[in-house]
A = this chain, B = another copy of it.
Amino acid sequence: MTEQPSSDPSVRARPVAGGPPVVGVVGGGQLARMLAPAAARLAVPLRPLVRDHDESVARVHPDVVIGAADARGLRALAAACDVLTVEHELVDLDTLRALEAEGLPVRPSADTLEIAVDKVRQREVLAAAGVPVAPWRLVASLEEAEPFADAHGWPLVAKAPRGGYDGRGVWFVDDAGQLAEVLAEVAGPVLLEPALPIERELAVLVARRPAGEQVVYPPVETVQVDGICHEVLLPGHLTDAQDRRAREIGALVADTVDSVGILAVELFVVDGDVVLNELAARPHNAGHVTIEASITSQFENHLRAVLDLPLGDPAPRVGSAAMVNVLGVDDLDPRTRLADALGHPGASVHLYDKGPRPGRKLGHVTATGEGLTAAREHARRAADALAGGPRRSEQEATT
């Protein structure tokens, strides 16, 4: 999703006219691909902005605009939709602001996206609203870092102030020498945080309408390896107090950033308390489990919110559910292993039709049931079968 070649934007298929509002989506990856069936069910016209016809959503959806997430592409999409949303945050925010000023509903707004992308502003705005955030400091040099290192001790975590996902833009630094390397690589200030003794990672999804009506999904536990989400568990291994606190924080963050659509709030459990990690103002990997596990999926509630329609019930339909990502181990198309994966009859397989390569998210598998352990085991086996082998570390196996 990072490289968006500036091809000629061209609109395909039906123009905007009378009839139901067309939802334009910036981005054509798996999130747009999973939005498509939610839109089809409601007979809502969906029009993603994609790089080319080989992108994940374009392989299963007839109505796309070709272009990059730059000024030209965004304007082509804007001309072909009635409300604009995103499946990723790597968007030209200046153009989004201009489109908002011209009267196009942009949901989430450019302001919300800015807060999701800009980690410094995010921490300032949320801390001011009472959201618990870890200690942090923006530093441009080793001298500026010294007091923070003295206060919290090495190792520290350094983060690029903007962008970064799936572990990119985040470094563990053991000493001043390593920090100097990161400062040189980023070529600008970096955000420092203590290396927190993280007990668990959580995510809470909030679906929110333009006037502020919102529903909060039950918190899930996310199992991350090297910053990449491997598994999602519903319910997570949380105390009642942590569960309540995660929901409170999710609702507070959504109101504070004035989100519209799905807001994914990633959280840490540290010393038993819940603190903010990151935000994403869009459907999120942590919410894929809602397709099978929830009365209303994150994808449908994103569309409902973006269209300012009543939100659906976020409660689970099932006792427990586990989602395991299919992370490429080799260069083989996971479809060649479909028969093996489907041999696990309780697993719901989702493939994204993306070119396979090691480490790439090629799909996910969800299993539901009364017992979380069994669901997790079913999902893992099918995901391993698709990927061509397990990608879990020893650490994760004991989580």
Contacts and interface: CB of A to CB of B under 8 A. Distances in A.
Interface of A: 19-20, 33, 36-37, 39-44, 58-62, 292, 295-296, 304, 309-313, 317-318, 333-335, 338-339, 342-343, 345-346, 348-353, 363, 368
Contacts of A311: 342, 345
Contact of A40 (B36, B44, B62): B36
Given A61-B62, A317-B318, A368-B295, A351 B43 contact: yes
A19, A37, A296, A311: residue with the most chain B Cβ atoms closer than 10 Å: A37
Given A60-B61, A335-B43, A313 B346 contact: yes
Contact of A342 (B20, B39, B304): B304
Nearest to A292: B317
A43 B58 CA distance: 12
Number of this chain's copies in the assembly equals 2
A25 to B, nearest CB: 14
Nearest to A43: B351
A313 B378 CA distance: 12
A22 B12 CA distance: 24
A197 B333 CA distance: 55
A60 B42 contact: no
A222 B42 CA distance: 24
Contacts of A60: 36-37, 39-40, 61-62
Contact of A310 (B37, B292, B345): B345
8 tightest CB-CB pairs across the interface, nearest first? A37-B37, A43-B351, A62-B62, A40-B60, A313-B345, A310-B342, A43-B353, A310-B343
Given A60-B61, A61-B62, A352 B43 contact: yes
B345 A41 contact: no
A339 B309 CA distance: 6
A351 B300 CA distance: 13
Nearest to A46: B60
A309 B337 CA distance: 11
Contacts of A310: 339, 342-343, 345
Nearest to A335: B20
Given A318-B318, A368-B317, A296 B345 contact: yes
Given A295-B368, A309-B338, A33 B40 contact: yes
Contacts of A42: 335, 338, 349, 351
Nearest to A334: B43
A290 to B, nearest CB: 12
A333 B317 CA distance: 30
A267 to B, nearest CB: 25
Contacts of A342: 304, 309-312
A368 B318 CA distance: 10
Contacts of A295: 345-346, 348, 368
A42 B339 CA distance: 11
A59 B309 CA distance: 22
A328 B43 CA distance: 15
Contacts of A333: 19-20
Contacts of A62: 58-62
Contacts of A368: 295, 317
Given A60-B61, A62-B61, A41 B350 contact: yes
A233 to B, nearest CB: 17
